[in-house]
């Protein structure tokens, strides 16, 4: 046998071995999938939404930043006191306030740290009620700890909230405005899980808020507006806590309301793709403990979401709780 034939045989053998190893690795990843990436993104984005809600609530009660011509600077939200939150309005005349969380436990959540809210171009007359106004949001060791099990998520970095439609929660609740549309964008948000593992998120979302005065319920519909590597409608992309690149693409808008909370969507669907995995994690939000969709319009809050993944014509799923 010639040297050339020997080398060719070895090359073929190595190629086959590589394919076998890769196939076994993908099969093992499929078998061992636990939905952790979906849990991380849901937790972080739910808490991000809750923080944005506080900002909307508080800024609407700040006449200087809101743009009302009368009224006194409030130290809480227009919807009432926000548990565990105080507002430092020292810099309000310059277009900036500080939200400070004191560690009080409310609804199984303990929050610490602070959030700096600054209206861009405040000195030139920009106010939050104006369409096109932008707020810079700086998360400063903003940490949420689940009281029941001690698990935590911390946000550090900068986002921007843009008022697309004009108006605020004040106009929604008290002035009869039909809806409010805003966007939340920001790159390289550091998301620290349980004080040890860090993910990097690029969040690009559009929100439409509506208010039902008869039931006193605020409803929010979230869409993905980000793009990366040829994919559109991304609500989030970046790297997981394990350092793997990922994308989260909105299939159907995510809906939550103040009855159940920003961290517990009642409806919506996303596809999460992790670069190291040969399958897509499809997440259906608003299900009961058995994984069945909870009917929208009922007073029942959902248990959580169902994640499903398929590889080589085999499908597995898991139902995860919001709390």
Classify residue 162 as exposed, middle or buried by CB count within 10 Å of its CB (0-12, 13-18, 19+): middle
Mean pLDDT in residue range 151-160: 97
d(CA 237, CA 84): 31
How many domains does the chain divide into?
1
The alpha carbon of 92 is separated from its chain's Cα centroid by a whole number of angstroms, namely 27
Classify residue 35 as exposed, middle or buried by CB count within 10 Å of its CB (0-12, 13-18, 19+): buried
Share of the chain above pLDDT 90, in %: 78
- 267-294 burial, b at 16+ Cβ within 10 Å, e below that, comes to bbbbbbbbeebbbbbbbbbbbeeebeeb
Give pLDDT tens digits for 229-267: 899 999 999 999 999 999 999 999 999 999 999 989 999
DSSP code of 213? T
DSSP code of 249? E
Give pLDDT tens digits for 7-31: 555 565 555 554 454 455 556 656 6
On whether residue 23 sits in a domain, the answer given is no
At residue 18, the pLDDT reads 47
d(CA 37, CA 261): 21
On whether residue 16 sits in a domain, the answer given is no
On whether residue 8 sits in a domain, the answer given is no
On whether residue 24 sits in a domain, the answer given is no
On whether residue 18 sits in a domain, the answer given is no
On whether residue 7 sits in a domain, the answer given is no
Q: Hunting for tokens 């697309």 — which residue is that?
A: 164
On whether residue 253 sits in a domain, the answer given is yes
Written as six digits, the tokens of 4 are 């050339």
Question: Domain range holding 240?
Answer: 33-321
On whether residue 108 sits in a domain, the answer given is yes
**To 5 degrees, how large is the angle CA 51–CA 54–CA 60?**
145
Beta strands in the chain (DSSP E): 85-88, 96-106, 109-119, 134-146, 152-163, 180-193, 197-212, 217-224, 226-228, 231-239, 245-257, 267-274, 280-287, 304-311, 314-321
d(CA 132, CA 163): 5
Q: What is the pTM of this model?
A: 0.89
pLDDT of 208 higher than 90 = yes
């Amino acid at each position: 046998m010639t040297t050339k034939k020997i080398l060719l045989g070895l090359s073929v053998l190595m190629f086959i071995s590589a394919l076998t190893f890769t196939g076994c690795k993908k099969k093992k990843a499929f078998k061992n999938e636990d939905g952790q990436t979906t849990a991380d993104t849901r937790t972080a984005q739910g808490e991000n939404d809750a923080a944005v809600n506080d900002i909307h609530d508080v800024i609407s009660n700040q006449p200087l930043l809101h743009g009302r011509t009368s009224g006194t600077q409030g130290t809480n939200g227009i919807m009432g006191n926000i548990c565990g939150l105080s507002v430092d309005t020292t810099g309000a005349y310059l277009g900036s306030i500080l939200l400070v969380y004191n560690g009080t436990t409310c609804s199984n959540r303990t929050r610490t740290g602070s959030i700096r809210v600054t209206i861009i171009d405040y000195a030139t007359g920009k106010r939050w009620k104006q369409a096109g106004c932008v707020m810079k949001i700086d998360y400063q060791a903003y940490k949420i700890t689940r009281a029941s099990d001690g698990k935590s998520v911390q946000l550090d970095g900068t986002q921007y909230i843009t008022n697309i439609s004009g108006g605020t929660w004040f106009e929604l609740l008290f002035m009869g405005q039909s809806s409010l549309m805003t966007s939340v964008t920001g790159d390289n948000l550091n998301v620290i899980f349980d004080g040890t593992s860090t993910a990097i998120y690029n969040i690009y979302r559009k929100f439409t808020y509506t208010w039902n005065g008869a039931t006193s319920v605020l409803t929010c519909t979230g869409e993905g507006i980000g793009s990366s590597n040829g994919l559109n409608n991304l609500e989030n992309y970046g790297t997981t806590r394990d350092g793997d690149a990922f994308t989260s693409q909105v299939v159907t808008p995510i809906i939550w309301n103040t009855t159940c909370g920003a961290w517990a969507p009642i409806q919506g669907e996303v596809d999460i793709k992790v670069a190291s995995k040969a399958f897509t994690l499809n997440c259906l939000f608003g299900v009961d403990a058995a994984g069945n969709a909870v009917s929208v319009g009922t007073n029942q809050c959902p248990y959580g979401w169902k994640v499903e993944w398929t590889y080589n014509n085999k499908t597995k799923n898991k139902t995860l709780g919001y709390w």
